[in-house]
Amino acid sequence: MSRQNTSSIPGSLAISFLQSLTSVVQNSGISEQKLFAQAGLVIDQTKDSHQRISGDEYCRLLDMAAKVCKDPNFGLHVGQAIKPGHYGVLGYACMSSKTLDEVLNRMQRYQTLVSDIGVNRFELKDENVKIRFDCDVQPYPPRQLSEEHLAGMVTFSRWIKQEDNSPEKIHFQHPEPEDTSEHQSIFNCPVLFSQAETAIYYASKYLTDPLPMAAPDVSKMMDGYAKKLLENMPEGEGFHEQASKALVILLQDGKPSLERLSKQLNIDVNTLKSRLKAEDISYQNLLDTSRRTLALTYIAQSSLSLTDIAFLLGFSEQSAFQRAFKRWTGETPMRHRKTLSDN
């Protein structure tokens, strides 16, 4: 039996990066807006927005899409659909770099513009350069996220080199799926599972090979633009986001309260209330939003009964949970679960 992830997914992702995901969903004949709704997300990709979704929301969306599209390799296919433009300014800066070494350095500096759901770490080891995906989640990053990330990196490198190059090997931390033929087809190299790290290995000479679209003037211009965007990004999380994460932890033992939340955050109750008020949110609103997030995760786990879920969310009665869930989604919990299983 595979181990389950037991911690929330850190960071967030720009909704502009969802283009590859929605293209795979559309190719499956599914409406992306229906998918977003089933995942409990409200996303308008038609607007020029700096909107981001959390790591938990993105992973929930990947898992939901894998079920709805009936595609256990959905993450791989999202990564395979990546195009440089999906990375925005970062993508164009990388495309015009002189070598892969420059690309990796730019990614380290500016990857937050696209996503900070984990980070890429680069190191030379013997004859290889290792690109390690570090994501602070235990016991390892979820399968769909890991496979999307590494497939996206490999696909992106093929785009900017304009050749069908392949890594030396691929390592994943999650257990080996029953069928790995798609992994072999996409990566075209040895793919190992249940490893200590999630990583891509390339031959070290790959770092210094000249790139065909090198344009130093364009790179310099894009660097300047990326720096400005990075400087204008909000610094850190708002207090209500910190409080929300703490509340999710409390909800996991089914005993949330204003007093327990204040202790979790190491502040007194009055300070907690005033700081939430300053961000125009109440404890009750925060509790409702956190419950909704967890409910959508729990309802997809068929091993949990509705009574279990009501308890885990801190509802005193199952009927109260049923009413809240219908208010959140427009469906009863049972109907929503049936919709998921039908898809």
d(CA 245, CA 6) in angstroms, rounded, equals 14
Please compute the mean of the pLDDT values over residues 278-285 and round it to a whole number: 82
35 and 25 Cβ atoms separated by less than 8 Å: yes
Q: Dihedral (C-alpha) 308, 309, 312, 317: value to the nearest 10 degrees? A: -80
Residue spans in the chain of domains classed CATH 1.10.10.60: 239-342
CATH fold label, 239-342: Arc Repressor Mutant, subunit A (1.10.10)
Q: What is the pLDDT of residues 89-126, one digit of tens each?
A: 888 888 889 998 888 888 888 888 888 898 888 888 77
Q: Dihedral (C-alpha) 238, 244, 247, 249: value to the nearest 10 degrees? A: -100
pLDDT band (50, 70, 90) for residue 238: low
- Least reliable range by pLDDT among 60-64, 91-95, 293-297, 305-309: 293-297
Please compute the mean of the pLDDT values over residues 190-194 and round it to a whole number: 98
Residue spans in the chain of domains classed CATH 3.90.1520: 12-232
Q: Is the pLDDT of residue 254 over 70?
A: no
Length of the chain: 343
pLDDT band (50, 70, 90) for residue 178: very high
Q: Is the pLDDT of residue 288 over 80?
A: yes
Q: Is the pLDDT of residue 220 over 90?
A: no
Sign of CA dihedral 207, 80, 136, 198: negative
Q: Is the pLDDT of residue 145 over 90?
A: yes
% of residues, the chain, pLDDT over 70: 92
Please compute the mean of the pLDDT values over residues 165-184 and round it to a whole number: 96
d(CA 15, CA 32) in angstroms, rounded, equals 13
Please compute the mean of the pLDDT values over residues 241-246 and round it to a whole number: 74
pLDDT value, residue 48: 47
Strands 128-134 and 119-125 turn out to be antiparallel
Please compute the mean of the pLDDT values over residues 208-235 and round it to a whole number: 80
Q: Is the pLDDT of residue 31 over 80?
A: yes
The class (CATH top level) of 12-232 is alpha beta
pLDDT value, residue 77: 97
Q: Is the pLDDT of residue 300 over 80?
A: no
pLDDT band (50, 70, 90) for residue 310: confident
User: What DSSP line would sit under 245-286, residue for residue?
Assistant: HHHHHHHTTT---HHHHHHHHTS-HHHHHHHHHHTT--HHHH
pLDDT value, residue 234: 59
d(CA 183, CA 164) in angstroms, rounded, equals 15
Closest by alpha carbon to 221, among 106, 108, 114?
106
d(CA 220, CA 192) in angstroms, rounded, equals 38
pLDDT winner (highest mean) among 192-206, 207-221, 301-315: 192-206
Average pLDDT, the chain: 84
pLDDT value, residue 3: 43
First vs last C-alpha separation in the chain: 24
pTM of full prediction above 0.75: no
Q: In the chain, which ranges are continuous DSSP H helix?
A: 19-27, 32-38, 55-68, 74-80, 89-95, 100-110, 143-161, 181-187, 216-232, 239-251, 258-265, 269-278, 283-299, 306-312, 318-329, 333-342
pLDDT value, residue 202: 92
pLDDT value, residue 2: 40
% of residues, the chain, pLDDT over 90: 29
pLDDT value, residue 273: 85
d(CA 246, CA 275) in angstroms, rounded, equals 15
